Amino acid sequence: MSSSTTGSGGPHILAYPYSDSGHIIPLLDLTHRLLARGLTVTVLVTPDSLPLLQPLLSTHPSSIQPLVLSVPPGKTRVAKVNAMSQLYYPILLQWFRSHPSPPVAIISDYFLGWTHHLACELGVRRLVFSPSGAFGFSVLLSLWRDLPKLDMGSPLSFPQIPHSPVFPWRQISHYYRNGKQGDPDWESNRTNILDDIASWGVVFNSFAEFERVYLEHMRAELGHDRVWAVGPLLPPEESEDSVVGPANRGGPSLLPCHEVMTWLGARHDSSVVYVCFGSRFSLPREQMDALAEALERSGVQFILAGEDTENIPESTELARLLAESVNPTRPERVRVKKLRDAALNAIKGGSSDKDLDDLLKRLSDA
C-alpha cells in the first residue's frame, strides 16, 4: 500500500472506483470537478489503473492523493468484488484510523456495496456512484430487492417504475436469470444492491432534464432526497494534447487519437455514424461481414468501435437505416439536438451544477 499526504483544501473524501474503464473514467471525471471546487480527494486505485490518475495528479498536485492497493484475485466480477472486500476492508480500516485528517465520506462504485458497511463502522457517509443513469439503477433495485418471478423466454415487466418498462428475458441480468437464491454469486449480487439501497446517498452520471421522473422515483424508493444527478461527466475542457484531454483516456487504440480527431474535424457536423457494441465482446464473423457490407452500401461515413449484438438486420435494410440516420430533418435528430443542448446546459450552471453544489454543501456540513 502506498499513499501521499493530502492538501489543506475543503472536505476530504475517498473515491473508490471499480476498475473497468466504463466505471473508473466517469468517477475520475467527477473527481476532477470535486477538486476544482476545493475538495481534497484520495483515490483508491490498483497499480494497473494508476496511469489514469496521473492527469489529475499533475493538475491538482496539492489536493489529490493516490491510495494504491494490490490487485486482488478473481476472474469474474463477483469473485473480484468479494476478494476486494476481504483484502481491502481491514487495510482501509487501519488507513482511516491512522490518517491525521481522514475522509468524511466514501464515494464508491455501485458494484462495491460492501463499502457501506465500512463507512458505517467508521462513522462516515457512503455515497453510491452510478456511472450510468437513474432508470437503469431503478431496474436493478426492483429486480434484486423485489425478486420478481422470471420465466425462461418470457418478458419481465416492472409496473412500479414510471412508464412500466418491459424487458425481453435475454436482457435481464444473467446473474439473476441464470442463478437462484442460495447460489453464492446470486446472493452476492443481491447483497450488493441491498447495501447500495441502504447507503447514505446516490450520485448519478445523468441530468435532471433527461431523467427527472426516474430521479424522483429513486427519491421515493429510497425514502430520502439524497439523490444527485451531476452528469454528463465529460473530459475537462482542455486541448486535445493536454494531459487531461481525451487523447489520454481509456485503453490503447488501433489508431492514434489525433488521427481520429483530425479525420472527424474534416467531416461535416452530424454526418458520421458511430457504431459500437461494447469493448468486451466479439461479433461472429457472419454478423461482422453483414455489418461491413451494410456500412459500405449506405455510403455514410462511420467509426466502428467494439463488437457484439444479438442480431444484425439483413445488410440491404441496415444500409437503408444507416443512410436515413444522418438525415438532419428526421424527428429523432431534432430531439437529439435538443437533448444534447440540455446536457451541456446542465453542466454549465444548470441542474447538474446545482446538484453538485448541494452535494458538496451537505458534505461540508458533515
What global pTM score does this model have? 0.84
SS3 of the chain: the string is CEECCCCCCCCEEEEECCCCHHHHHHHHHHHHHHHHCCCEEEEEECCCCHHHHHHHHHHCCCCEEEEECCCCCCCCHHHHHHHHHHHHHHHHHHHHHHCCCCCCEEEEECCCCCHHHHHHHHCCEEEEEECCCHHHHHHHHHHHHHCCCCCCCCCEECCCCCCCCEECHHHCCHHHHHCCCCCHHHHHHHHHHHHHHHCCEEEECCCHHHHHHHHHHHHHHHCCCCEEECCCCCCCCCCCCCCCCHHHCCCCCCCCHHHHHHHHHCCCCCCEEEEECCCCCCCCHHHHHHHHHHHHHHCCEEEEECCCCCCCCCHHHHHHHHHHHCCCCCHHHHHHHHHHHHHHHHCCCCHHHHHHHHHHHHHHCC
Looking at the predicted structure, is the pLDDT value of residue 309 above 50?
no
Q: Which of 12, 29, 60, 109 is catalytic?
A: 109
Please say if the pLDDT value at position 80 is more than 60: yes
Q: What is the pLDDT of residues 239-248, one digit of tens each?
A: 444 544 555 5
Mark whether 109 is an active-site residue.
Answer: yes
43-51 mean pLDDT: 93
Residue 313 has pLDDT above 60, yes or no: no
Q: What is the Cα–Cα distance from 158 to 166, expressed in whole angstroms?
A: 6
- 22 versus 285: the higher-pLDDT residue is 22
76 conformational bin, left if phi > 0, alpha if psi -120 to 50, beta if neither: beta
Q: Active-site residue among 12, 23, 32, 60?
A: 23
The sign of the CA dihedral 142, 143, 148, 153 is: positive
pLDDT of 272 reads 84
Q: Which residues of 95-114 are buried (b: 16+ CB within 10 A; e: fewer)?
A: bbeeeeebbbbbbbbbbbbb
State pLDDT tens for residues 191-244: 999 999 999 999 999 999 999 999 999 999 999 999 999 999 998 765 444 544
Q: Quick one: pLDDT band at residue 5, thresholds 50, 70, 90? A: very low
pLDDT score of 306 more than 50? yes
- Hey, what domains does the chain have and what are their CATH numbers? 2-235+349-364 (3.40.50.2000), 251-343 (no CATH)
